[in-house]
Amino acid sequence: MNIFRSIRLRLGDLWQVCVSEFRSILADSGSILFFIVVPFVYPFLYAALYGNEVVREAPLVVIDRSHSEISREYIRRVDASPDVFVVAQVANESEAYRLVAEERAYGIMMIPEDFSRQIYSDQQAHVDLHTTFSAAMYYKAYVLTATEVALTMGREIEGRRHHAASERATRISVRPIESEWIAPFNPQGGFQGFLLPGVLVLIIQQTLLIGISMVSGTQRERGGLASPFLLIDGHYASVMRMLLGKALCYLHIYMVSSLFVLVIAPWLFGLPQLTDPLTYWLLLLPLLLASVFFSFFWSLMTRHREKAMIIWVFTSVPFLFLSGLSWPLSAMPAPLRALGYLIPSTPGVQAFVSVSSMGAQLPDILPQYFTLWAQALVYFLITSLVYSRLLRRS
Is residue 161 located within the same domain as residue 232?
A: no
300, 386 in Cβ contact below 8 A? Answer: yes
107, 129 in Cβ contact below 8 A? Answer: yes
Among 148, 174, 200, residue at a domain's last position = 174
Is residue 71 located within the same domain as residue 23?
A: no
Is residue 230 located within the same domain as residue 366?
A: yes
Is residue 217 located within the same domain as residue 253?
A: yes
> Does pLDDT of 155 surpass 70?
yes
The number of distinct structural domains making up the chain is 2
Is residue 46 located within the same domain as residue 97?
A: no
Residue 184 lies in a domain: no
| Average confidence score pLDDT of the chain | 81
CA–CA distances in Å: residue 349 to residues 6, 19, 97, 201, 340: 39, 30, 40, 6, 11
For residues 167 and 157, what is the distance between their CA atoms, to the nearest angstrom? 14
Is residue 39 located within the same domain as residue 107?
A: no
Average pLDDT over residues 164-180: 68
For residues 229 and 78, what is the distance between their CA atoms, to the nearest angstrom? 67
Is residue 20 located within the same domain as residue 78?
A: no
Model confidence at 100, pLDDT cuts 50, 70, 90, reads confident
Per-residue burial over 44-66, b = 16 or more CB atoms within 10 Å of its CB, e = otherwise: eebbeebeeebbeebbbbbbbeb
Residue 131 lies in a domain: yes
pLDDT score recorded for residue 84: 86
For residues 45 and 115, what is the distance between their CA atoms, to the nearest angstrom? 46
For residues 315 and 295, what is the distance between their CA atoms, to the nearest angstrom? 13
Residue 96 lies in a domain: yes
Is residue 31 located within the same domain as residue 73?
A: no
Here the CATH number for the domain that contains residue 82 is 3.40.1710.10
SS (H, E, C) the chain: CHHHHHHHHHHHHHHHHHHHHHHHHHCCHHHHHHHHHHHHHHHHHHHHHHCCCCCCCEEEEEEECCCCHHHHHHHHHHHHCCCEEEEEEECCHHHHHHHHHCCCCCEEEEECCCHHHHHHCCCCCCCEEEECCCCHHHHHHHHHHHHHHHHHHHHHHHHHHCCCCCHHHHHHHHCCCCCCCCCCCCCCCCHHHHHHHHHHHHHHHHHHHHHHHHHHHHHHHCCCCCCCCCEECCEECCHHHHHHHHHHHHHHHHHHHHHHHHHHHHHHHCCCCCCCHHHHHHHHHHHHHHHHHHHHHHHCCCCCCCHHHHHHHHHHHHHHHHCCCCCCHHHCCHHHHHHHCCCCHHHHHHHHHHHHHCCCCHHHHHHHHHHHHHHHHHHHHHHHHHHHHHHHHC
> Does pLDDT of 1 surpass 50?
no
The residue count for the chain: 394
Q: Which of 125-129, 142-146, 218-222 has the lowest average pLDDT?
A: 218-222
Is residue 260 located within the same domain as residue 314?
A: yes
Residue 162 lies in a domain: yes
Among 119, 149, 174, residue at a domain's last position = 174
Give the structural domain span for 67.
Answer: 58-174
Q: Which of 121-125, 127-131, 255-259, 368-372 has the lowest average pLDDT?
A: 121-125
Q: Which of 120-134, 225-239, 289-303 has the lowest average pLDDT?
A: 225-239
What pTM was estimated for this model as a whole? 0.77
Is residue 239 located within the same domain as residue 350?
A: yes
pLDDT score recorded for residue 66: 83
Residue 181 lies in a domain: no
Residue 180 lies in a domain: no
Nearest alpha-carbon partner for 297 in 372, 225, 237, 195: 225
Nearest alpha-carbon partner for 131 in 60, 73, 196, 180: 60
Among 139, 174, 209, residue at a domain's last position = 174
Model confidence at 368, pLDDT cuts 50, 70, 90, reads very high
For residues 324 and 346, what is the distance between their CA atoms, to the nearest angstrom? 7
For residues 185 and 198, what is the distance between their CA atoms, to the nearest angstrom? 14
Is residue 370 located within the same domain as residue 250?
A: yes
- Taking only the tens place, the pLDDT of each residue in 24-62 is 888 877 788 888 888 888 888 877 777 666 778 888 888
For residues 105 and 60, what is the distance between their CA atoms, to the nearest angstrom? 5
Residue 23 lies in a domain: yes
Is residue 235 located within the same domain as residue 298?
A: yes
